[in-house]
Amino acid sequence: MTQTAQEIMTLTELANYLKVAEKTVVRMARDGKIPGTKVASQWRFMRSMVDQWLENRMQPVTPTNLFELLKMAPEVVPVSRLVAPELMLFDIKPGSVTEVLEQLSAPLQDHNLVEDSHAYLQMLIDRENLHSTAIAPHVAIPHARSPANAKLKSSALVVGICPEGTDFGATDNQKTNVFILICSEDDMVHLRLLAKISKLLSKPKVIERLIECRNSEQVIALLAETEWKLALKQAEA
């Protein structure tokens, strides 16, 4: 059995793991109090997400802690846990690459996450001048070329939605609607985030649904759902 398969728990397995009755687990899952999803009418749970849920109940887990955990155990940190509502923008205005990057980086300054916002913006612009980060139809993943030199106070992800779409230099000449700005203090974390996000946004239907999102709850729910489906697919392989 693969490690991914072992991560997926049935209702009975989770009830035994938590030392509670199955009906209690069902009630909590149905009410959204414990992370789980239904597959063919059967509840399934990911052990790593349950462990994080337990840890959250026992002691606070900050986004910074999760980014640190990403260095050591990337497989147990879902992207849906790394996005913060205050760093989501649902009205990115079409414009030049610089104008879009200014909008995306603004929340970093607003929430005191970067030491020099102007220098960081220039790093993002310099990266786009090398080659566009619009890596998939309608999606771009902007980032600094050298994360270690970005002088960020904390790692973060900024999600931006441009409903109208804008020219961001995509090689297929299509407009870009979804932006996920990776703000990492560590090269390894940056690469792991890039891989995770690229995989999550590889399906056109996921991108279509992201474009339609109008609040943070919808974005987080969609990312969590997509991660679940990917994990289940890997478990069945």
The model's confidence at residue 217, banded by pLDDT at 50, 70 and 90, is: very high
pLDDT attached to residue 192:
93
167 against 80, higher pLDDT: 167
109 against 237, higher pLDDT: 109
Tokens 């997509």 found at = 226
Give me the domains of the chain, ranges plus CATH numbers.
Answer: 3-78+227-236 (no CATH), 85-216 (3.40.930.10)
Judged by average pLDDT, the poorest of 11-25, 68-82, 188-202 is 68-82
Are residues 21 and 35 in contact, defined by beta-carbon separation less than 8 angstroms?
no
pLDDT attached to residue 60:
55
Based on its alpha-carbon atoms, the radius of gyration of the chain, rounded to whole angstroms, reads 19
- What average pLDDT does this structure show over 133-159? 92
Alpha-carbon span 225 to 207, nearest angstrom: 13
The model's confidence at residue 237, banded by pLDDT at 50, 70 and 90, is: low
pLDDT attached to residue 120:
96
The yes-or-no verdict on residue 5 having pLDDT over 60 is no
Alpha-carbon span 120 to 182, nearest angstrom: 12
Q: Are strands 37-39 and 8-10 parallel, antiparallel or unpaired?
A: unpaired
The model's confidence at residue 1, banded by pLDDT at 50, 70 and 90, is: very low
How many Cα atoms occupy the beta-carbon half-sphere of 182 within 13 Å? 28
Q: DSSP letter string over 171-195?
A: TT-PPEEEEEEEE-SSHHHHHHHHH
At 106-143, the pLDDT tens digits run: 999 999 999 999 999 999 999 999 999 998 899 999 99
The pTM assigned to this predicted structure is 0.76
Closest CA relative to residue 128, chosen from 97, 173, 93:
97
3-state secondary structure of 92: coil
